[in-house]
Amino acid sequence: MGPDRSNESAPRDASSGENAGSGFEVSAGTLLVSSPELYEPTFRRTVVYLIEHNESGSLGVVLNRPSESAVHGVLPQWHELAAKPKAVFVGGPVNQSAALCLGVVKAGQDVNGIRGLQPVAGRVVLVDLDSDVEMMDELLDGVRVFAGYSGWGMGQLDDELERDDWIPCGSLHTDVLAPPRVDLWGKVLRRQGFPTSLLATHPVDVSVN
């Protein structure tokens, strides 16, 4: 599943928190917030960051599913640069034996043409895990390591958006390295316009409401 694979100043956020809406243009850097009515366990109350979105399909990673595995135990050289909680996150159900890494570029850094970094949107970059960690430490605020990814074939994500399985929202670079105790699902929804923001009040367990 999944597709085949700035300007002269520091990159900007993909959307500066652009609100969700029916006319929202989905692209790399878009957040897909799962609908409160999406009960499928793999994506229940998840926030997916899209890395690629084109005619062939879409690829992204879940930002709010930390695993029990520490980065130190899998990729010890990246432990110091990994953002808290310094865990490997479950990026999605596809190819979970493979690691993928996103990083946030330090303000004022121009990383265009830097080997090992592929711009995604704004200050967010895809990081080659074979890169020189010391060099990356000079360029990046931090990284997040993911096991696996979330992938959609041609037209599949469009169909899911039509069914309202996902709420597409603008991203901030801080979403990628969100602190461990932040309810990212609710936080992203709350910063949307009315009435989307009301969805953040949806209970985790509807049976208690």
DSSP string, 162-194: HTTSEEEE---HHHHT--TT--HHHHHHHTSPT
Query: Residue 145's domain spans which residues?
Result: 30-201
Looking at the domain assignment, is residue 120 inside a domain? yes
- 172 belongs to a structural domain: yes
Prediction pTM value? 0.86
> Does 117 fall in a domain?
yes
DSSP run (H or E) holding 34: strand 31-34
Number of domains present in the structure of the chain? 1
In a domain? residue 22: no
Identify the CATH number of the domain in which residue 136 sits. Answer: 3.40.1740.10
pLDDT tens for residues 14-64? 444 455 555 789 999 999 999 999 889 999 999 999 999 999 999 999 999
Tell me: the pLDDT tens digits for 137-186? 999 999 999 999 999 999 999 999 999 999 999 999 999 999 888 999 99
Instruction: Identify the CA nearest to 51 among candidates 184, 178, 157, 206.
Output: 157
Has residue 7 been placed in a domain? no
Tokens of 38: 């999406």
Angle at 127 between CA 124 and CA 133, to 5 degrees: 120
